[in-house]
Each structure stands twice: as C-alpha cells, then as structure tokens.
C-alpha cells in the first residue's frame, strides 16, 4: 500500500510542476519589452498608467543610457518628461517598442521606423504607425 501512496504523491507532484510551468509561460506571454534610449542631456522619465488604472509604471533613464523594461501588454496613458518639457499622450504596447529620445537641440535625421521610434518632444513626427503619441 505504501507504494501506491508514494506513486500517487509523485503523480500529484509532477502534475503540480506541469501546471505551474504552464501558468508561468502564460504569464510570460502577457508581458512586453519597452526599451528607452536616452540621447538627451538630462533625465528621461516616462510614467505609464494602464486602462483600467490599477498600477503606475515609472520608467526613468539617465543621460546616455539604454534601459529595457518589461510591462504587461496593453494600451497606456503616459506622462513623459525630457529636455525640460512634459507631454501627455498614449502608448500602445501590444508589441515591443524602442523609444529613442534624441538630443534636445537638434531634430533627428529621420523619424525612425515602426518599433524603433525617435522622439523629440518639440516636434514629434506623428506617424500613424507609431505607438507613442501625444495629446
């Protein structure tokens, strides 16, 4: 009888491990990467508020740095600070995105491409395929 109990416990343990691995994989799929590259002369700060508002994500990157953050997929309202200016808008994080904050005193050579968006708060290129926008 003890072999049956041991076998049952082993079976329950294997099933629990399999279910936890599946739950972890499902949770992992709901996350998306946000990379912020700061080419400005100061701090870049982005706060993300999901809809519905349950938490706030604060992302900050020092001058000359590149940081990768992971947040849940979704649409966010953002408050962004760079080059002494603050803007408000929307950010679609249904896919990963890289936000490149360009130097404050010059326009970027181009607007970037889908997924790698160059941002200057004075003259942001409002492209319909960009995920970052201001109000």
| Domain covering 31-134 assigned CATH 2.60.40.10 in the classification | yes
User: Is 38:66 a contact under the CB 8 Å cutoff?
Assistant: yes
Please tell me the predicted confidence (pLDDT) of residue 111: 65
In angstroms, the first-to-last Cα distance of the chain is 70
Q: Which two tokens stand for residue 99?
A: 């936000």
**Does the pLDDT at position 48 exceed 80?**
yes
Q: Is the pLDDT of residue 132 over 80?
A: no
Domain edges within the chain: 31-134
Model pLDDT, residue 66: 97
Spatial distance between the Cα atoms of 69 and 44, rounded to a whole number of angstroms: 14
Question: What is the DSSP annotation of 89-101?
Answer: EEEEESS-EEEEE
pLDDT digits (tens, 9 = 90+) for 55-107: 999 999 999 999 999 999 999 999 999 999 999 989 999 999 999 999 988 77
Query: Which position has the higher pLDDT, 96 or 121?
Result: 96
Tell me the whole-structure pTM to 2 decimals. Answer: 0.72
- Residue 30 pLDDT: 92
């Amino acid at each position: 009888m003890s072999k049956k109990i041991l076998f049952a416990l082993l079976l329950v343990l294997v099933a629990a491990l399999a279910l936890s691995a599946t739950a972890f994989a499902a949770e992992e799929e709901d996350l998306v990467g946000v990379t912020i590259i700061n080419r400005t002369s100061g701090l870049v700060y982005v706060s993300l508020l999901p809809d519905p508002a349950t938490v706030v994500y604060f992302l900050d990157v020092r001058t000359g740095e590149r940081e990768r953050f992971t947040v849940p997929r979704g649409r966010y309202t953002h408050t962004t600070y760079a080059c002494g200016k603050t803007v408000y808008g929307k950010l679609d994080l249904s896919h990963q995105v890289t936000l490149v904050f360009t130097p404050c005193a010059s326009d970027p050579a181009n607007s970037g491409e889908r997924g790698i968006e160059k941002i200057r708060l004075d003259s942001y290129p409002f492209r319909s395929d960009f995920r970052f926008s201001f109000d």
